[in-house]
């Protein structure tokens, strides 16, 4: 076995694992970290974004495979595993027919999930997506997804949960979580319950840097927006967002929803006031607001901040995935 000196990846899995999972649309590994924390072994990972692949490899010691839509990628998936997981991108579905099942997902990335599930029959499919998936195309898109999974022999459970109410992470982030159990392999699936809400005891100050950060994150007095920022940003106990022509305060004193386009062109990154001025969140702080143990994480050197902001915005809130994962394992082990 290599020593830590030669294998510095901070999140290597435990030796004695109790279940196997695959990590699709892996991003920077939020599902992987959560399920490894619960005793899982990741037997396959896939992520097409090169920057995210690099961050993933730095932290888990494994470079994810690329495009999951390709047969040459799918063929690398081991035959047997317990949980298929992933935060899949929501592409628009074209609802052309009437059955709204497996065949009508073709051309979307969800079809690749369904295709893999059909071949490998994992005990559980565990997915995350934006809240709007529920109402997209008047609910037809989500109906296709549910019907497709049912066609493949799965019972579907879903719920919209918020990081600030269900993970003790002060970010206002609503996401839909889908947990589908193989009815033959998990006959007691009806015992499954999503985790209950828990008190939010942490504040933004538990996630922010206490020292002065790099000067590049601070707005200078000669910046064109500085006067309106200084006038509008009066509290140090909440975060703000610049909305083209005005400043929006997050009244609930939590971080606003982190987004994938955060940092693109310098926009949409939440703002705050600290002892040294008015500034943006750093990429490290954005990962902290997704529940990652950032003091252990490795952030690739020389990677553009824009790429790191995108990775944080695209990620899942890791502790919430872990709480749902714990509920799944209670069913599988009972």
pLDDT string in tens for the chain (334-residue length): 333 344 467 887 777 899 999 999 999 999 999 999 999 999 999 999 999 999 999 999 999 999 999 999 999 999 999 999 999 887 666 655 556 666 767 778 999 999 999 999 999 999 999 998 898 888 888 999 999 999 999 999 999 999 999 999 999 999 999 999 999 999 999 999 999 999 999 999 999 999 999 999 999 999 998 999 999 999 999 999 887 777 888 878 899 999 888 877 656 789 999 999 999 999 999 999 999 999 999 999 899 999 999 999 999 999 999 999 999 999 999 8
Burial class for 277, CB neighbours closer than 10 Å (0-12, 13-18, 19+): middle
- The CATH number corresponding to 19-194+315-333 among 3.40.980.10, 3.30.700.30, 3.30.930.10, 3.40.50.150 equals 3.40.50.150
- What is the rounded CA–CA span in Å between residue 256 and residue 174? 11
Q: Which two tokens stand for residue 39?
A: 């005793």
Going across the sheet that includes 277-280, the strands are: 246-249, 240-243, 271-274, 277-280
Spatial CB neighbours of 122, under 8 Å, sequence gap ≥ 6: 22, 81, 82, 83, 84, 182
pLDDT of residue 14: 74
Residue span(s) of the chain under CATH 3.40.50.150 come to 19-194+315-333
Give the position of tokens 């206490």.
210
pLDDT of residue 98: 53
- Mind telling me the catalytic residues? 90
132 backbone dihedrals φ, ψ, rounded to 5° = -65, -10
Predicted TM-score of the model (pTM): 0.93
Spatial CB neighbours of 192, under 8 Å, sequence gap ≥ 6: 157, 179, 181, 327, 328, 331
Longest dimension (CA), the chain: 66
CATH topology of domain 204-313: DNA Methylase; Chain A, domain 2 (3.90.120)
Beta strand spans in 73-139 (E) = 83-86, 124-130
Whether residue 290 contacts residue 171, with contact meaning beta carbons closer than 8 Å, is answered with yes
Residue span(s) of the chain under CATH 3.90.120 come to 204-313
- What is the rounded CA–CA span in Å between residue 180 and residue 127? 9
């Amino acid at each position: 076995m290599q020593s830590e000196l030669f294998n510095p990846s901070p999140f290597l899995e435990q030796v004695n694992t109790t279940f196997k999972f695959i990590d699709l649309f892996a991003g920077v590994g939020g599902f992987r970290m959560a399920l490894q924390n619960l005793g899982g072994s990741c037997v396959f990972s896939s992520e097409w974004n090169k920057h995210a692949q690099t961050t993933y490899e730095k932290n888990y010691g494994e470079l994810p495979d690329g495009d999951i839509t390709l047969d040459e990628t799918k063929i690398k998936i081991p035959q047997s595993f317990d949980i298929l997981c992933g935060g899949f991108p929501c592409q628009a579905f074209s609802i052309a027919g009437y059955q709204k099942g497996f065949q009508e997902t073709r051309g979307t990335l969800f079809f690749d999930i369904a295709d893999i599930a059909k071949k490998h029959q994992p005990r559980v499919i565990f997915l995350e997506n934006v809240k709007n998936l529920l109402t997209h195309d008047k609910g037809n898109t989500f109906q296709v997804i549910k019907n497709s999974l049912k066609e493949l022999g799965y019972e579907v459970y879903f719920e919209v949960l918020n990081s600030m109410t269900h993970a003790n992470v002060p970010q206002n982030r609503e996401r839909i979580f889908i947990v589908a159990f193989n009815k033959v392999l998990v006959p007691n699936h009806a015992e499954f319950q999503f985790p209950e809400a828990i008190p939010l005891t942490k504040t933004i100050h538990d996630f922010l840097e206490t020292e002065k950060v790099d000067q590049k994150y601070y707005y200078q007095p000669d910046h064109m927006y500085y006067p309106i920022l200084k006038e509008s940003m009066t509290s140090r106990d909440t975060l703000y967002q610049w909305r083209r022509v005005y400043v929006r305060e997050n009244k609930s004193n939590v971080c606003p929803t982190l987004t994938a386009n955060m940092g693109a062109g310098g926009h949409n990154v939440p703002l705050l006031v600290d002892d040294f001025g008015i500034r943006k969140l750093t990429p490290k702080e954005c990962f902290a607001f997704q529940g990652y143990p950032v003091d252990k994480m490795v952030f690739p050197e020389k990677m553009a901040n824009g790429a790191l902001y995108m990775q944080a915005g695209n990620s899942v809130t890791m502790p919430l995935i872990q709480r749902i994962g714990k509920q799944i394992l209670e069913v599988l082990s009972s």
